[in-house]
Amino acid sequence: MFLGKEIRLRRLLNRKSGRLLAITIDHPITRGVLPGLVDIRGTMAKVVAGRPDAITMHKGIAEKVFPPYAGEVAMIFKSTAYSTAYHPYYDAPVADVEEAVRFGADAISVGMIVGGPEQATQLTHLGKISKEAAMAGMPLIAHIYPKGSLVKNSADPEVVAWAVRVGAELGVDIIKTNWTGSAESFMKVIEACPSRVALAGGEAGKSLEDYLHVTREALDIGLAGVTYGRFVWQHENPTAVIRAIAALMHNNASVKEALEVYEEAAASR
């Protein structure tokens, strides 16, 4: 591994656990300006206060909102975007590795929708970014979802396992994907992927306790990280939520202990 990549990975991954707790705030192009992201400066402050390992963002937010927190938390530079309303099967390139380096990013992130004819162009782009990231010593993260136009069940563990393996085959270091519904089924995903597997939030639960249970189950079978978004910054206390997740991931806490961390952090607002 090139030294530059090793340095960036050490900034990205938690020193204690070796895992990644990332918060994504890259949703507006994909899903609209959701509650929780309207006041992006306020949300950024609350997220950073929770001390995640990294935050995923697009370049405009990195330039306009992130500077006061540079050095406090790692930056994952998002380089593609799709829209559930207008182009749901195609994650379009919007930035590149050269920009990620210029912004001082610790990793570059590429989104990809697989499972349909639309994936061909995205495969080509991921292969290109993988080459450029390797040459720059930049860790590569991919959000790979089997939600293409030919996929009948995006939570099918066989389909999800194939999706993450696509990323591993093309040199991705950390692959974010969706939960398959149980630890037993998600084990197939982890076993199929020699790269690190991270869990997306999305529809993994409805409450904080739901997400903590899913996270704990996934960690117990070898999950390497989480990249959660909506359920964190739409919660009434994002800072406390992040600290509860961190207790699970980095201190090996139980769900009960993580909820206690949440209550203590929420009470100290």
Residue 30: pLDDT band (50, 70, 90) is very high
Q: Which residue out of 26, 53, 91, 173 is catalytically annotated?
A: 26
For 130, the 3-state DSSP assignment is helix
Cα distances (angstroms) measured from residue 16 to each of 62, 124, 152:
27, 36, 40
pLDDT in tens, 65-113: 999 999 999 999 999 999 999 999 999 999 999 999 999 999 999 999 9
Question: For residues 259 and 241, what is the distance between their CA atoms, to the nearest angstrom?
Answer: 9
Beta bridge partners of 55: 23, 75
pTM for the whole structure:
0.96
pLDDT in tens, 245-255: 999 999 999 99
Q: Which domain holds residue 225?
A: 3-267
Q: Which residue out of 46, 78, 147, 176 is catalytically annotated?
A: 176
Q: Residue 204: is its pLDDT beyond 70?
A: no
Q: Which of 181, 224, 172 is nearest to 199 (CA)?
A: 224
pLDDT in tens, 224-261: 999 999 999 999 999 999 999 999 999 999 999 999 99
What CATH number did the domain enclosing 206 receive? 3.20.20.70
Q: Residue 1: is its pLDDT beyond 90?
A: no
Cα distances (angstroms) measured from residue 2 to each of 6, 133, 136, 143:
6, 11, 9, 23
Q: Residue 206: is its pLDDT beyond 80?
A: no
Exposure pattern of 190-223 as b/e (b: 16+ CB <10 Å)? bebbebbbbbbbeebbeebeebbbbbbbbbeeeb
pLDDT in tens, 144-197: 999 999 999 999 999 999 999 999 999 999 999 999 999 999 999 999 999 999
Active site residue 145: yes
Residue 205: pLDDT band (50, 70, 90) is low
Active site residue 176: yes
Structure-block tokens of residue 158: 């066989």
Residue ranges of alpha helices (H) inside 65-170 are: 97-102, 119-136, 157-169
Beta bridge partners of 252: none
Residues 6+ apart with CB under 8 A from 30: 81, 82, 83, 84
For 35, the 3-state DSSP assignment is coil
Question: For residues 48 and 239, what is the distance between their CA atoms, to the nearest angstrom?
Answer: 8
Per the structure, the count of domains in the chain is 1
Question: For residues 31 and 25, what is the distance between their CA atoms, to the nearest angstrom?
Answer: 11
Q: Which residue out of 89, 90, 145, 262 is catalytically annotated?
A: 145
